[in-house]
Amino acid sequence: MENGLYQIAVPVADLLREPSGARDKQVVMGAEFNVTEVKDGWVYGACRDDGYVGYVPQYVLGPIMAPTHWITDQGAFLYSEPDMKSPEVARLVFGSRISALSTTNGFVEIEGGFLPEQHISPLTEWETDPTVICLKHLSVPYLWGGNTSLGIDCSGLVQTALMSCGITCPRDSGPQFDHFTDEVTREELTRGDLVFWKGHVGMMLNNDTLIHANAYHMRVASERLDGALARIAQKEFGEVLGYRRPSRST
């Protein structure tokens, strides 16, 4: 393998701090990865969508195939034939990008199998409301460094929701806090606003309800903001850092 641009060719890959090391985030099928170093079966590089760097095993990468669609449901089974009774060969997750080859009997053929049309949308069709994406992940288990509908953490949920709506967003909560500079007050909070603590972030569903992936519930959960503020201040991350309103122009 030479240095250059590739894409993730497996359903989900961990991006590691070092070979066989700790997971920092996850990347899903179709995500582009710019390789700058290859050694002993590992590659080092950067995710093209957010610039996040790390190591992945060489085998998870494949050649660039122009994507045409993406998975817009929480998940989708890839079947061996265009038939829901045929054996499934993989489970793809929300946000995966795929290249459609043909359509047969309500199934889209991609390399390796067939996906039900109901689970995908053309790449030209962005989501418009990040809270809808958060709600699609409701009750997904908490996973440190997770970025998928199989497991996700607080900043992974926020990044997934915002980037699905075409809003640029860093991966971690600290850079997210620095990136979104449109401050609002507690009284001004509305649907889609972000609440930050030192080491944690959540998104508002309305003026008083927060949704966040968190280790207290060990899943994506919604709860009253006032209750979360009191508990988190006492037992977890301390007082709130601030409230931010994401913008497409950020």
Distance from the Cα of residue 73 to its chain's centroid: 12
d(CA 47, CA 51): 5
So what's the pLDDT on residue 250? 47
Q: pLDDT by residue (tens digit) across 142-199?
A: 999 999 999 999 999 999 999 999 999 999 999 999 999 999 999 999 999 999 999 9
Question: Are 54 and 15 in contact, with CB atoms under 8 Å apart?
Answer: yes
Residue 249 has pLDDT above 60, yes or no: no
pLDDT digits (tens, 9 = 90+) for 38-49: 999 999 999 999
pLDDT of residue 22: 95
pLDDT tens track for 102-125? 999 999 999 999 999 999 999 998
Smallest CA-to-CA distance from 24 within 44, 49, 54 is with 54
**Cα separation of 24 and 143, whole Å?**
11
Answer whether 140's CB lies under 8 Å from 150's CB: yes
The residue whose two tokens read 């069709």 is 125
